[in-house]
Structure 1
Amino acid sequence: MNVRSVQIRELPESDIERALALAYLVFHESPRDQLREHHRAALAGLLRIGAYDGAELVGFAAAHPFSLSVPGGGELPCAGLTFVSVAPTHRRRGVLSGMMTELFARCARRGVPLVALWASEASIYGRFGFGPGSYGATVEIDARRPLALRLPPDPRPLRLVDPASAPALLGPYFEGTRSGRPGRQARTEAWWREEWLVEKAEDDDELSPPRVVALGDPLAGYAIYRTKAGDEDARTPGVVRVEELEADGPAEAAALWSYLTAIDLTGTVRAWGRPVDDPLPLLAADRDQVRVTESFPALWVRLVDVRAALAARTWAAPVDVVLDLRDERVPGNAGRFRLIASPDGFSYAPTADAPDLSLEARDLASVYLGATSVRALLRAGLIAEHKPGAAAMLDAALSTDLRPHTVDGF
């Protein structure tokens, strides 16, 4: 397709180097040779879209072929959007819109109902129908003294695991946890090795290689973490950065957190991207010792095929509402539809009946996995309720036991 003078088409493998150069220009990056090679190899296997002004590459986007967990333990194909770049000379000329239109069309043709991304600028993606599909929290623990908890930690033994053998141990366990929490992507062995257990952290050269601690046999939980030495002159303590912690339950999690806060020569444990419903702050006997320092939108989600996305999830309670859905980017989603769903069935079909709720595609995306409630958007004036009680009914049907969560960046 053409966007004024710009042509949007598939980016061939021969242009990957040009695409990386554009992405590094846009994101002000100069990565190490090893990371460049990793990016180059990853892009070879992804869907790639380029925007060309004549022979010049002025826009680029790529997408991973993921499988994403949805409420009820189901799975859906999902395009994980990444490397979205527009040359500074071609901003505000419709290049990004053209690439998004092409991406959505390709997803529709391939039967991929979801697109997800991590937004570098949150203000950009709402207009393309993306909404925050999950939220994360940063937790900081004062580890200068033993972690005080209201619950005794699981007494089973802990063991350190060689990162080289960790995927075989952790992979099946993680897959078992995914079905219980929406918004998590499946991990291949290559993803474990190339994204999770790499020797050097991409964002901080001072961090140690990854460490893996496992609880129990059979496995009842694990943590992946890195450490950084403190500065004696500045009197700053060493830091433990928790990359991921998964556990069967609160006692098992307590054992892992107790271990992490007892590592010698460290005084701070920092965990970025924890679930917003993580029980740790509730378990803390001293809330001054465990602090949630920030909460933020994490994975942004876009429903490319609304019917397929709604059909794939389960419903916690019966619902019968007419939705008036606005979607300027994917016209096939737009219109008035009656949603009838329950734990035992599902129907979503066009109707001429009066709407019960009016909303935009981005807001449907925000409530789809359970990150945001319909009533919260109603109170914010972003959804219109025409039939009293319709928002509450839809909320009850969309309810999930656990809030959506992921820390898999891409």
Structure 2
Amino acid sequence: MTTDLRGVPEGHVDRALDLAYLAFHNRAGDATRKRHREALLHCERVGAYDDEEIVGFAAARRLGLSVPGGELPAVELDFVSVAPTHRRRGVLTGMMGELWRRCAAADRPLACLWASEDAIYGRFGFGPATEAYSVEIDTTRPLNLRVTPDRRPLRLIAPADAPDVLAPLYETSRARRGGRFSRDAAWWRRAVCSGDGDDDAKDGPSRVVVLGDKGAPAAGYVVYRVGEKATVTVEEMVAADAPAAAALWSYLASIDLTRKVRAWALAPDDPLPHFAADRDQVRVTGRWPALWLRLVDVARALTSRSWAAPADLVLEVRDATLPANAGRFRLTVDPSGAAYGATGDPAGLVLDVRDLSACYLGGVQVRQLVRAGLVEERTPGAARSLDAALETEYLPFAGEGW
């Protein structure tokens, strides 16, 4: 059998969804399928066909990804799936190659994804660039905090009003933290405005609470659901500062007829564990790699972000998938910006593109990877120098849960 790669037309989207549900062992009700279908219509779609049967599928959502000092065009890969009858035949490798060609043609230097299996994507140059942690709060007793909550009013708003009210504060959070996605009107409509979510989920509809006077800029917001076992599930929280966050957590913990608050993804430097007075009441239940990042165009990525300190380093980059990134390059950083070009000088650091991708947003230290045996430091102090240049005030975070 021969397999060819081509774009997936709108008329084949339902077939592509069927393949994705098969590969991920999922069932989807009508509302969930409708939401997924609408999302795919806003994506680039690559299919692997065996005759006219779709045996591989990958979607690429075009977006902007916040990086230190700004934003870069990127694609987020989703619904990546291969039919169980066609595994280990190079289908995924072929689809990834086609996606890299499309990224180059569209001048998108970054690609990212949420990895269903960590072992798969490292070989394609992806590295875990952000971390997240999950928390659980016992709300059978009052939540005791060490900071005074912001005393501005809390307002429950209709999901349909969410974009106008929430988007400005979300954009502020993107400006100070790498790893955050741009959101268009279609995203807000699918994710929040319907208020319904997945029809096969056991939680209730989305609720949106905003901190701040009506008509004034929001100081914080939380999107949550209340489900079975009297559990409040936090889908997203954005707060301008610690008092604003304290006000939102206090609200969630005081909702009547509930016993527990769960948040599936918080930034690794989120203040909640620090200002909680009782760490037995506010428990970190997991810490895990969140967004995986791939530098598709290393030179463009490195020269387009801001840097925290000057540096002059020679990097030997290995990239088996995209040879244009491979070689020995001098990275020079000064107050005017960064330059990156080929050189014959000896390398100070030798690293794979997946490890450079992991460190790019400032969430992973190069010297940690040196100690792990993944990066070779040939010039003493080179790893510490690159870490100082990559450092950011806020750790990167991606909490795109909808």
* TM-score, normalised with respect to structure 1: 0.94
Counterparts of 2:161 and 2:301 in 1: how far apart (Å)?
Answer: 36
Q: What residue is the counterpart of 2:4 in the other structure?
A: 7
Contact 1:240 1:268 in 2 (8 A): yes
The runs of at least 4 consecutive aligned structure 1 residues that moved more than 6 Å come to: none
Q: What residue is the counterpart of 2:81 in the other structure?
A: 85
Deviations 1:322-348 (A, max 9, x none): 000000111100000000013432110
Q: Secondary structure at the match of 1:266?
A: coil
Counterparts of 1:348 and 1:203 in 2: how far apart (Å)?
Answer: 49
CA separation of 1:145 and 1:409: change in aligned 2, threshold 3 A: closer
Q: Do structure 1's residue 49 and structure 2's residue 46 form an aligned pair?
A: yes
Counterparts of 2:91 and 2:154 in 1: how far apart (Å)?
Answer: 52
Counterpart residue type for residue 101 of structure 1: G
Counterparts of 2:327 and 2:203 in 1: how far apart (Å)?
Answer: 51
Q: What residue is the counterpart of 2:176 in the other structure?
A: 180
> CA offset at residue 166 of structure 1?
1.6
Counterparts of 2:270 and 2:178 in 1: how far apart (Å)?
Answer: 14
Counterparts of 1:280 and 1:366 in 2: how far apart (Å)?
Answer: 25
Q: Do structure 1's residue 33 and structure 2's residue 30 form an aligned pair?
A: yes
Q: Secondary structure at the match of 1:286?
A: coil
Residue segments in structure 2 that go unaligned for 5+ positions in a row: none
CA separation of 1:9 and 1:263: change in aligned 2, threshold 3 A: same
> CA offset at residue 244 of structure 1?
1.1
Deviations 1:62-86 (A, max 9, x none): 10011110012x1111111011111
Which residue of the other structure, out of 286, 291, 308, is the alignment partner of 1:316?
A: 308
Which residue of the other structure, out of 241, 264, 267, is the alignment partner of 1:275?
A: 267
Counterpart residue type for residue 260 of structure 1: L
Counterpart residue type for residue 85 of structure 1: S
Which residue of the other structure, out of 54, 66, 69, is the alignment partner of 1:69?
A: 66
Contact 1:181 1:404 in 2 (8 A): yes
Which residue of the other structure, out of 15, 18, 31, is the alignment partner of 1:18?
A: 15
Q: Secondary structure at the match of 1:35?
A: helix
Counterparts of 1:402 and 1:282 in 2: how far apart (Å)?
Answer: 15
Counterparts of 1:321 and 1:409 in 2: how far apart (Å)?
Answer: 37
Q: Do structure 1's residue 342 and structure 2's residue 341 form an aligned pair?
A: no
Q: Do structure 1's residue 116 and structure 2's residue 105 form an aligned pair?
A: no
Q: Which moved more, 1:17-26 or 1:368-377?
A: 17-26
Counterparts of 1:155 and 1:409 in 2: how far apart (Å)?
Answer: 29
Counterparts of 2:208 and 2:160 in 1: how far apart (Å)?
Answer: 10
Counterparts of 1:37 and 1:343 in 2: how far apart (Å)?
Answer: 49
Q: Secondary structure at the match of 1:170?
A: helix
Q: Do structure 1's residue 380 and structure 2's residue 372 form an aligned pair?
A: yes
Q: Secondary structure at the match of 1:393?
A: helix
Map residues 8-407 of structure 1 onto 2, 5 A cutoff. Answer: 8-72=5-69, 74-202=70-198, 205-217=201-213, 218=216, 219-230=218-229, 238-407=230-399
Q: Secondary structure at the match of 2:265?
A: strand
What RMSD over aligned residues (CA atoms) do the two structures have, in Å? Answer: 1.4
Deviations 1:260-303 (A, max 9, x none): 10111111110111001101100011111111110111111111
Counterparts of 2:190 and 2:148 in 1: how far apart (Å)?
Answer: 36
> CA offset at residue 195 of structure 1?
1.8
Deviations 1:309-334 (A, max 9, x none): 11111000011110000001111000
Q: Secondary structure at the match of 2:176?
A: coil
Counterparts of 2:173 and 2:148 in 1: how far apart (Å)?
Answer: 23
Counterparts of 2:3 and 2:292 in 1: how far apart (Å)?
Answer: 27
Q: Secondary structure at the match of 2:59?
A: strand
Q: Secondary structure at the match of 1:48?
A: strand
Q: What residue is the counterpart of 1:234 in the other structure?
A: none
Counterparts of 1:64 and 1:229 in 2: how far apart (Å)?
Answer: 33
Q: Secondary structure at the match of 1:164?
A: helix
Counterparts of 2:30 and 2:234 in 1: how far apart (Å)?
Answer: 26
CA separation of 1:286 and 1:409: change in aligned 2, threshold 3 A: closer
Counterparts of 1:63 and 1:54 in 2: how far apart (Å)?
Answer: 23
Q: Which moved more, 1:186-195 or 1:317-326?
A: 186-195
Contact 2:66 2:174 in 1 (8 A): yes
* Percent of matched pairs sharing the same residue: 56
CA separation of 1:196 and 1:165: change in aligned 2, threshold 3 A: closer
Counterparts of 1:6 and 1:313 in 2: how far apart (Å)?
Answer: 39
Residue segments in structure 1 that go unaligned for 5+ positions in a row: 231-237
Deviations 1:180-199 (A, max 9, x none): 01000111122112023443
Counterpart residue type for residue 259 of structure 1: Y
Contact 1:118 1:409 in 2 (8 A): no
> CA offset at residue 252 of structure 1?
1.1
> CA offset at residue 36 of structure 1?
1.6
Counterparts of 2:289 and 2:265 in 1: how far apart (Å)?
Answer: 10
